[in-house]
Amino acid sequence: MECGAAGGFSEEQFREACAEIQQRAPAGANWELLVETLGFSIYGLLDQQTGLYEYKVFGVLDDCPPALLADVYMDLDYRKQWDQYVKVQYIYIRQRQELDVEGRKIHVVLAQSTSVPQFAERPGVIRVNQYKQSLAIESDGKKGSKVFMYYFDNPGGQIPSWLINWVAKNGVPNFLKDMAKACQNYLKKT
Q: At what angle do helices 172-189 and 66-74 cross, to 10 degrees?
A: 100
- Please state the domain extents for the chain: 11-117+124-189
CA distances to 24, 66, 117, 122, 136 from 164, in Å: 24, 30, 29, 24, 25
Task: Answer yes or no: are the C-beta atoms of 85 and 175 closer than 8 Å.
Answer: yes
**For the domain 11-117+124-189, what is the CATH code?**
3.30.530.20
List per-residue pLDDT tens for the chain, 190 residues long: 344 444 478 889 998 998 999 888 898 779 999 999 888 999 999 888 888 888 999 999 988 999 999 999 898 888 888 887 665 575 668 899 999 988 999 999 998 876 555 555 555 554 456 778 899 999 999 999 999 999 888 777 777 888 878 887 888 888 888 998 999 898 776 5
Name 16's Cβ contacts closer than 8 Å, sequence gap at least 6: 134
